[in-house]
Amino acid sequence: MAENTDLTTVLNHIGGKEVPAASGATLPLIDPATALEHGTAPRSGPEDVDAACHAAQQAFPGWSATTPATRQTALLGLADALEREATAVARAEVADTGKPRALFLADELPAIVDVLRYFAGAARNLPGAAAAEYTPGRTSVLRREPVGVCAQITPWNYPLMMAVWKIAPALAAGNTVVLKPSDTTPSSAALLARLAAEHLPPGVLNVVCGDRDTGRGLVTHPDVRLVAVTGSVRAGQEIAAAAAADLKRLHLELGGNAPVLVHEDADLAAAVEQLSYLSFYNAGQDCTAATRILVHQRLHDAFLDAFARRAAQRVPGTCDDPHADFGPLANAAQLSSVRGMLERLPAHTEVVAGGATLDRPGYFHQATVVAGARQEDEIVRSEVFGPVVTVQPFTDEAEALRMANAVPQGLAASVWTRDHDRAMRASRALHTGIVWVNTHGTTVSEMPHGGVRHSGYGSDLSLTGLLDYTQVKHVML
């Protein structure tokens, strides 16, 4: 690896102060567009985790006693700070992820700011049952109270967005937070904590950087009462097992493997154009990415031909490339994982677009379309989490639904049809937490984002997500 002398230093944020790991240990940060080291971050150990959890525990009584209006003001202030510091925020995010800067500024940052502003308002609108005499002579009142110290572990595909999806509802509900970002993408989370320090009391939001051992120590820490994770199914299973020992509350947003049902009456041109963009957005590193496209047999060949041609025009590029549709894969391990799945494709499949890495530094991979896959194939049953899409034919509506549901994951799906009744039947029959009709991938702050089965449980966003960070107390007078 070539030497880069212009390195940035990311620090933990504990109790309102920026500090290195107590041991002095660090992890390298690699720019995915060059495969060169661009900085370092702390490799936090038990001492750092304990300090962060202690700071959060100490801050909890004061923060939980604040009024919703006070929390609203803090979250609105943080939202304004992110907008004001957009250039620095984008620099931190792009350095770790390699994603196109223009797309981050146009798509992700406005959505991140909106989430903060939404939960700022939601903090003042907690729903609950009406106070009433449900039995003679007794008045019942329902209180929703914060849970306590929340451990939050976020992934590398949308580092800042996933951090805000976690911290905004937790803080709005009156909890305190210890956030552990991915070991490869901590820069924007550390900057978020620095900006938040202007609006939050010390210890309310803490960030500890590190590896899997850091995360394990955080999950099992006795001060933590709720663990929220966005990550792989395997990570969720391990965390659930570890949290069970202390009966910690869990919020798991895990892997996806989204089916897309394109019926014979669908608008072919619109489906091809939208899906060829959404399937490969963020290099396909999205739990809701349109990865398994199921097309009615009458439309299959025409769709496959048009989709493959359009996919070939979706090009990866560097962060400042104005023509880039997506950036590199986030790290060498993920590129290796995607390559492994393509190299293990069975003989009955065919790569009809892409299929190769780019001959340049970094972790770039072509937008890839695979035809001929069968339900039992790894490429269908497993989440690729890269710029790879399978296209399969189906004969009728019932078969399409069987194929869509025949995987362990259940996060999102979409249905493309002009038939309203068919769309409604599919929205009822699909075993997923989200169903889009004639669109795919759009999220809004007001609606929940979560899955079923191996995609986890609990919801980000919406009032549902806010309530996940509260516990109910019945008071009878």
Closest CA to 247 of 271, 220, 229, 272: 220
Which secondary-structure segment (H or E) carries 89?
helix 86-97
Name the pairing type of β-strands 249-253 and 258-262. Answer: unpaired
Q: For residues 368 and 311, is the Cβ–Cβ distance under 8 A?
A: yes
Phi, psi values for residue 377, rounded to 5°: -70, 145
pLDDT tens, residue order, the chain (477 aa) = 344 446 899 999 999 999 999 999 999 999 999 999 999 999 999 999 999 999 999 999 999 999 999 999 999 999 999 999 999 999 999 999 999 999 999 999 999 999 999 999 999 998 888 999 999 999 999 999 999 999 999 999 999 999 999 999 999 999 999 999 999 999 999 999 999 999 999 999 999 999 999 999 999 999 999 999 999 999 999 999 999 999 999 999 999 999 999 999 999 999 999 999 999 999 999 999 999 999 999 999 999 999 999 999 999 999 999 999 999 999 999 999 999 999 999 999 999 999 999 999 999 999 999 999 999 999 999 999 999 999 999 999 999 999 999 999 999 999 999 999 999 999 999 999 999 999 999 999 999 999 999 999 999 999 999 999 999 999 999
Closest CA to 153 of 178, 188, 175: 178
Residues annotated catalytic, as ranges: 253, 287
Task: Output the pLDDT for position 4.
Answer: 44
Task: Output the pLDDT for position 133.
Answer: 96
Rounded Cα distance between 433 and 423, Å, is 15
Closest CA to 234 of 408, 470, 434, 7: 408
Rounded Cα distance between 359 and 339, Å, is 14
Task: Output the pLDDT for position 327.
Answer: 97
Residues contacting 114, CB < 8 A, separation 6+: 445
Task: Output the pLDDT for position 129.
Answer: 84
Task: Output the pLDDT for position 92.
Answer: 98
Residues contacting 47, CB < 8 A, separation 6+: 22, 23
Q: For residues 461 and 161, is the Cβ–Cβ distance under 8 A?
A: no
Rounded Cα distance between 11 and 197, Å, is 14
E strands, 271-407, are: 290-296, 350-353, 368-371, 388-394
Name the pairing type of β-strands 12-14 and 17-19. Answer: antiparallel
Q: For the chain, what is the largest distance between any 2 Cα atoms, rounded to a whole number of angstroms?
A: 78
Rounded Cα distance between 306 and 318, Å, is 26
Backbone angle region of 445, left / alpha / beta, with phi > 0 → left and psi within -120 to 50 → alpha: alpha
**Residue 102, amino acid:** A
What Rg, from alpha-carbon coordinates, does the chain have? 23
Q: For residues 427 and 416, is the Cβ–Cβ distance under 8 A?
A: no
Task: Output the pLDDT for position 126.
Answer: 87
Angle at 208 between CA 204 and CA 214, to 5 degrees: 130
Q: 236 to each of 155, 228, 255, 378, 394, how far by Cα in Å?
A: 12, 10, 9, 21, 32
Burial status of residue 430 (CB atoms within 10 A of its CB: 0-12, 13-18, 19 or more): buried
